[in-house]
Amino acid sequence: MDLSLYDTVARKKTPFVPLRPGHAGIYTCGPTVYRYAHIGNLRTYLLTDLLVRALRFEGIAAFAVQNITDMGHMHEEVLDRAEDKVIAAARAAGKTGREIAEFFTEAFFRDCRRMNFLPADVYPRASAHVPEMVAIARELERKGAAYREGDYLYFDVTRAERYGELSGAQLGEGEAAGRTDVSIHRHKRRPEDFTLWLPAEPGREFRWDSPWGQGWPGWHVECAAMAVKYLGDEFDIHVGGIDLRFPHHENSRAMARTATGGRFAALWMHAAHLLVDGRKMSKSMKNEYTLDDLADRGVDPMDFRYYCLTLHYRTPMNFTWEGQAAASRAFTRLKKAFDGAEAGEGTDPEAAADFRRRFRESVEDDLNLPRAVGVVHEAAHAGLPGGTLRELAVEWDAVLGLGIVPAARTEKGETRDEGAGAAAPVPPAVAELVARREAARSARDFTEADALRARIRKAGYEVVDVRGGPPRVKKSR
Ligand code: AMP
Ligand code: ZN
């Protein structure tokens, strides 16, 4: 079997065939950096991480792009003031929009590291790509697919071929008409048309020159422009949360396809939402949990990652503290089982073959990680020789990214150490970093591996790679 993925346009699982053999270009809608990421956002970003890891597992090199929306798109509720999220947050905090965006971009990167996400190859910032957005809007205008009313430039959705194919939205009907921003856009010819360019109100921090006057680009233009710039007119996979399917994805797709004549994304993947105690997360419910909220309750990011892996990405996840506690316990059991795995303790490739096959089949079946995790648990308790178990852990953790690799441990379960700090055991936090570095190395992600080595060094330890065996860890002199 080969990798198959569920495509939102085809509405079924389809075999994944890269446009360029051995390579895959991936675009993921990134954060609007005006607040901390909540665990729902992180669950959606995890889909990209798992996808990239699964592609590598299949021998396909992924090139991943995730944008940073640092100038904010509009709140539905503040449309009348034409205010954006970054500016609103800045105003509330008495800071500039740029300061707010910078702060939360760093917070986002930190969360990504804590979640053990492989870094994207490019994190384009929307504010640095306005000329590209203007170019797309101009091209649409040239093609007669955009029209100007007042200081606004609109996309004429009737000029897009097969508008609605992605989301099922029908022009002039129901959801589409109901959810569009008619309130401030009285000039639009039809409710589904959307802004490519908006005029800047006096004193607006984020504003750029354009053929339509000083202003700023509409949100859907942002992603389209950045995706096309870094991945081309046609690329392999576009990822985002299910809520973005309409209007954001439908519109970016319509616009990019009309402007470039290319297909834009060949396949669309959407992650189902995370709910907390069966409810949508919201400020007023005080249930918009972040990784820090989880840490306050003793939940490590890897515990949360494990919890996510026990549910398929297209299944809505109902986060509860009880569910998290059960997941954390199962994860601890799993790590314990792998703790016994030692290199050099004998191997039994045949005994591992069936587990290997089932793990791979699960991953290839539209990233069925819950099933894959089930196989890992089975293997961990199947009495396999330590050497084999260790090999499996390294191989599988390249996909799971959980840090289950028993790195740098002696037979007694103590941490391997040498030289200056021979008597002192390596702290668990460092052992964890070592394990993650191992996983990164086996995934051939040397940038991540180097970053982890630097973190290990900062903690006062050195890793020494040993050919064919686990790395040695020693205290820096
Ligand atoms: P935002 O910062 O609101 O633009 O959202 C960033 C990403 O998180 C988008 O891909 C959203 O679809 C996704 N997202 C937002 N809320 C949730 C949620 N409750 N569960 C899962 N993903 C979400
Ligand atoms: Zn987007």
Q: What is the DSSP letter of 420?
A: G
Q: How far is CA 69 from CA 145, 208, 226, in A?
A: 25, 16, 11
Ligand 1 centroid to residue 85 C-alpha, Å = 14
Q: Which ligand is nearest to the CA of 239?
A: 1
Query: Strands, E, within 201-248: which ranges?
Result: 215-217, 234-241
Q: Are the CB atoms for 236 and 18 separated by under 8 Å?
A: yes
Name all contacts of 17-20 with Cβ < 8 Å and 24+ positions apart: 18/60, 18/236, 19/234, 19/235, 19/236, 19/266
Nearest Cα to 78, choosing from 69, 91, 68, 67?
91
Ligand 1 centroid to residue 226 C-alpha, Å = 19
Q: Are the CB atoms for 155 and 255 separated by under 8 Å?
A: yes
| Ligand 1 pocket mutation, candidates 33, 41, 318, criterion most atoms within 8 A of CB | 41
* Position in ligand 1 atom list of the atom nearest CA 240: 10
Q: Are the CB atoms for 442 and 398 separated by under 8 Å?
A: yes
105's CB contacts (< 8 A; 6+ apart) are 33, 68, 70, 125
Q: How far is CA 121 from CA 26, 27, 118, 460, in A?
A: 10, 10, 9, 29
Q: Are the CB atoms for 472 and 464 separated by under 8 Å?
A: yes
Kindly state if the Cβ of 31 falls inside 6 Å of ligand 1: yes
Nearest Cα to 247, choosing from 166, 162, 302?
166
Q: Are the CB atoms for 60 and 325 separated by under 8 Å?
A: no
Q: What is the pLDDT of residue 438?
A: 76
Counting Cα atoms < 13 Å in the Cβ hemisphere of 178 gives 4
**How far apart, in Å, do the first and last CA atoms of the chain sit?**
50
- Report, in angstroms and rounded to the nearest whole number, the Rg of the chain calculated over CA atoms: 24
Kindly state if the Cβ of 243 falls inside 6 Å of ligand 1: yes
Ligand 1 centroid to residue 271 C-alpha, Å = 9
Ligand 2 centroid to residue 29 C-alpha, Å = 4
Burial class (CB in 10 A: 0-12, 13-18, 19+), 477: exposed
Distance of CA 123 to the CA centre of its chain: 11
**Distance between CA atoms of 188 and 179, rounded to whole angstroms?**
14
Helix (H, G, I), strand (E, B) or coil at 246: helix
- Mean pLDDT per 10-residue run, the chain (477 residues)? 94 97 97 94 98 97 96 53 72 83 94 96 95 98 95 94 91 54 64 91 88 93 96 98 95 98 98 97 91 97 98 98 98 90 72 96 98 97 90 95 71 33 55 76 78 87 67 75
Kindly state if the Cβ of 43 falls inside 6 Å of ligand 1: yes
Nearest Cα to 377, choosing from 366, 365, 386, 389?
389
Q: Which ligand is nearest to the CA of 240?
A: 1
Helix (H, G, I), strand (E, B) or coil at 406: coil
Kindly state if the Cβ of 393 falls inside 6 Å of ligand 1: no
Kindly state if the Cβ of 133 falls inside 6 Å of ligand 1: no
Q: Are the CB atoms for 308 and 328 separated by under 8 Å?
A: no
Q: Which ligand is nearest to the CA of 104?
A: 1
Q: What is the DSSP letter of 409?
A: B
Q: What is the pLDDT of residue 63?
A: 96
Quick one: CA dihedral 197, 199, 205, 209, positive or negative? positive
| Ligand 1 pocket mutation, candidates 48, 243, 248, 275, criterion most atoms within 8 A of CB | 243
Q: Are the CB atoms for 66 and 28 separated by under 8 Å?
A: yes
Kindly state if the Cβ of 68 falls inside 6 Å of ligand 1: no
* Position in ligand 1 atom list of the atom nearest CA 275: 19
Q: What is the pLDDT of residue 185?
A: 56
CB atoms within 10 A of CB 307: 24
* Position in ligand 1 atom list of the atom nearest CA 281: 19
Q: Are the CB atoms for 210 and 225 separated by under 8 Å?
A: no
The two structure tokens encoding residue 184: 């401030």
* Position in ligand 1 atom list of the atom nearest CA 29: 10
- The helix, strand and coil proportions of the chain, stated in percent and rounded to the nearest 5, come to 45, 15, 40
**Distance between CA atoms of 217 and 223, rounded to whole angstroms?**
11
Ligand 2 centroid to residue 222 C-alpha, Å = 7
Which residue minimizes the CA distance to atom 1 of ligand 1?
Answer: 31
Q: Which residues pair with 399 in a beta bridge?
A: none
Counting Cα atoms < 13 Å in the Cβ hemisphere of 55 gives 25
Kindly state if the Cβ of 41 falls inside 6 Å of ligand 1: yes
Region of residue 29 (left: phi > 0; alpha: psi -120 to 50; beta: else): beta
**Distance between CA atoms of 115 and 437, rounded to whole angstroms?**
14
Q: Are the CB atoms for 84 and 98 separated by under 8 Å?
A: no
